[in-house]
């Protein structure tokens, strides 16, 4: 099983410019642990001091916010595109 992880430019200074990579992680906590090993500087960028994902980062699975799919409990499906993206405000 493989998923594709997609990153916007804001995160690529810690991935040697790579905007996407493949992963075999089973879920979001698994992916974050994997990033600890493969891109430690990215890990520091996207997690706060307590090791939790920063609140201003949204995770999308294909076109859906992971929070609508069960959050950390969502089991990645083969072929999922997982996007990490800074949350951008809008509206009033």
DSSP 14: G
* Strand arrangement of the beta sheet that strand 64-65 belongs to: 20-23, 3-6, 81-86, 57-61, 64-65
Binding residue (CB under 8 A) for another protein from 28, 60, 78, 82: 60
User: Token digits for 66?
Assistant: 């992971």
| Binding range to another protein, per CB under 8 A, among 20-28, 29-37, 45-53, 72-80 | 45-53
Instruction: List the one residue from 16, 22, 63, 78 that touches another protein (CB under 8 A).
Output: 63
Q: Which of 17, 51, 78, 88 binds another protein (CB under 8 A)?
A: 88
Position 9 contacts another protein (CB under 8 A): yes
Per CB under 8 A, 27 contacts another protein: no
Q: Binding segment for another protein among 6-14, 20-28, 29-37, 73-81 (CB under 8 A)?
A: 6-14
Nearest CA among 51, 47, 59, 45 for reference residue 3: 59
Rounded distance, CA 80 to CA 87, Å? 20
């Amino acid at each position: 099983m493989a998923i594709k992880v997609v990153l916007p430019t804001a995160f690529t200074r810690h991935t040697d410019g790579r905007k996407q990579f493949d992963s075999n992680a089973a879920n979001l906590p698994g992916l974050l642990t994997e990033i600890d090993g493969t891109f430690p500087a990215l890990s520091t960028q996207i997690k706060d001091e307590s090791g939790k994902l920063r609140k201003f980062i949204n995770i999308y699975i294909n076109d859906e916010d992971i929070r609508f799919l069960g959050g950390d409990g969502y089991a990645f499906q083969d072929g999922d595109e997982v996007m990490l993206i800074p949350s951008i405000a809008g509206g009033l």
